[in-house]
Structure 1
Amino acid sequence: MTNSFFYSEDLPPVRLDKALAQHLGLGVRRCRALIEAGQVLVDDRPCAKGVLIRPGQHVLLTMSEDAATDCRDVRLVTSNESFAALFKPGGLHTVAGRGASCLESCMPGLGLDGWELLNRLDHLTSGLVLAACDQESASAYKSRQDAGQVRKWYLALARGVVQGLDSRERILDDKRRIVRVTTEEDEPLRWTRARAVCQVGDDTLLLVRILKGRRHQIRAHLAYAGHALIGDPVYGAGEPGGLYLHHWRLEMPGFTASLLPDWPCVDHELVENVASDFDSD
């Protein structure tokens, strides 16, 4: 698949990554990954992402069909003047890897060109991802999160019978593929709290709440407690059918969004009842 354009004579010089994003409707991170992979030529020559593109220059993008972004299942759930909640299906990256499809690349098609993603979900995790319209809104979100005013609710299908658990162990979320759970207690903002919604055969559908997550936090904490998530290929057995972890609801002052997964074991009324009684114990 190829796409190309001549940079307009009416526009001032701009960085290559930004020119590519503006003209092709891709996210800036995705454009940088494509440039670094050598899939972008300027006047038939590869260039760095920060090179200034000047009027009249020809920009050519080449990528395989399987690297093109698939936005069919991505959608805007709700929005206001500052924030938007997007649905990311499982199996789609949040931001670009090298040539990989991602949620960020779908944003221009949803009318969110130039918006900034505020959280990420693992590649296999489905559910809500939040975006901010500008840096001021992004800073406001960070301040609310640091103050414990952002609550993120997940649904998770865990191995075995679980009534509830509170995981306080610190996670070392460095660049390794598998994070390590330590015996050291983390700050309260990083705790994982889970309560049973219902039994699903020998397993348990859980409602999980976190405030300020670390990478793989829910997956690692549940596995550390002996209840790995169904379908988790890293911390569990990797059963077929995908990872059963879904970001259901996000709540913060002035903005709330929610979207249930289409799992057959999920009953809306049960989930809401558990959420309303979550702090009663």
Structure 2
Amino acid sequence: MTDSFFYPEGLPPIRLDRVLALQLGFGVRRCRALIEAGRVLVDDRPCAKGALIRPGQHIRVSLPEDAAPDCHDVRLVDRNESFAALAKPDGLHTVAGQEAACLESCLPGLGLEGWELLNRLDCLTSGLVLAAAEKRDAAAYKVWQDAGQVSKWYLALARGEVATLECRGRILDDKRSVVRVTADEDEPLRWTRVRALRQIDGNTLLLVKIFKGRRHQIRAHLAHAGHPLIGDPVYGVCEPGGLYLHHWRLDMPGFTASLLPDWPCVDSVQVEGLLSAFDSD
């Protein structure tokens, strides 16, 4: 089975392994394995996983006949009888779309066959995805979310020096691959609240809190505020290392889960310490 495509015009250069993850919906590790196995050609030549792909270049991938969703990096973080928190790696879609590989297809292998995913993360975003065992559990989650009882915490690395932000602009996200932040104020549950953790080479590691997310909410709000996320190919500049956005923690009635990213700039004590001060500053 062969997949062949051209890297689109108008996009910035990006690593070969990241291009494959976006196009195929596979995890980055699986894409690197395909490259190392000689199954990937760029303009009819093999390339290293870190080679920068530029607009107009032709990529051909020879996939094994038994190619299946890549669940190698998906794992169960925490669960009870009603809810489960899953770790989604960057480069893997949450639900099935044009590509077969997705987090949803990995549920049976985790002992969660028949469970329902309650939130989605962008393909490039890593972190927690929540699943419900029964319809009544999914309904309870929706009630709690509408009441502001579900807190979602993200870690992000943004360009420039950021202190405290509260992004309130309504996002137009209906059938848009790139959303737009308007001058209209959205409902408070749709706001993006931001606090700085530390400065890193002129950029800022952030703790971000939302209650009900819209498509690309954090990415679009931060970019609109003049602080696009590092590695964001849509609202910022595509850079090596991927998108620095990770769903770290989820708090709701009767269930809490957390999963820190493996970024070297993240200090767990510092992140935990900011939680208690977040709502008081």
The answer, yes or no, to whether TM exceeds 0.5 is: yes
Report the CA distance between 1:64 and its aligned residue.
Answer: 4.9
Q: Which residue of 1 aligns with 2:246?
A: 246
Q: Which residue of 2 aligns with 1:65?
A: 64
Find the residue that maps to 2:177 and give its secondary structure: coil
Which amino acid letter does the alignment assign opposite residue 202 of structure 2? D
**Deviations 1:51-77 (Å, cap 9, x if unpaired)?**
xxxxxxxxxxxx953852111110000
Match of 1:260 in 2: 260
Cα shift at 1:100: 3.1
Equivalent residue pairs, number: 221
Asked if residue 213 in structure 1 is aligned to residue 225 in structure 2, the reply is: no
SS at match of 2:197: strand
SS in 2 for 1:277: helix
Task: Tell me the residue number matched to 1:196.
Answer: 196
TM-score, normalised relative to structure 2: 0.77
Which residue type is aligned with residue 134 of structure 2?
D
User: In the alignment, what sits opposite 1:82?
Assistant: 82
| Residues 1:122 and 2:98 are matched in the alignment | no
Q: 1:199 to 1:115 in 2, by over 3 A?
A: same
Residue by residue over 1:97-125, the C-alpha shift from the partner in whole angstroms, topping out at 9 and shown as x without a partner, is 12331000111000000000000000000
The structure that has the greater radius of gyration is 1
Write out per-residue CA displacement over residues 2-50 of structure 1, whole angstroms, 9 at most, x where no aligned residue. xxxxxxxxxxxxxxxxxxxxxxxxxxxxxxxxxxxxxxxxxxxxxxxxx
Q: When the two structures are superposed, what TM-score results if normalisation uses the length of structure 1? A: 0.77
**CA distance, structure 2, for counterparts of residue 272 and residue 64 of structure 1:** 43
Amino acid at match of 2:96: A
Q: Distance in 2 between matches of 1:65 and 1:133?
A: 33
**Separation of aligned partners in 2, 1:212 and 1:109:** 29
- Which runs of no fewer than 5 residues in structure 1 stay unpaired? 2-62
Give the letter for the 1:211 counterpart. F
TM-superposition CA deviations, 1:220-274 (whole Å, max 9, x none)? 0000000000000000011111000000000001000000000000000110111
Identity of aligned residues (%): 75
Q: Distance in 2 between matches of 1:175 and 1:100?
A: 21
By how many angstroms is 1:200 displaced?
1.0
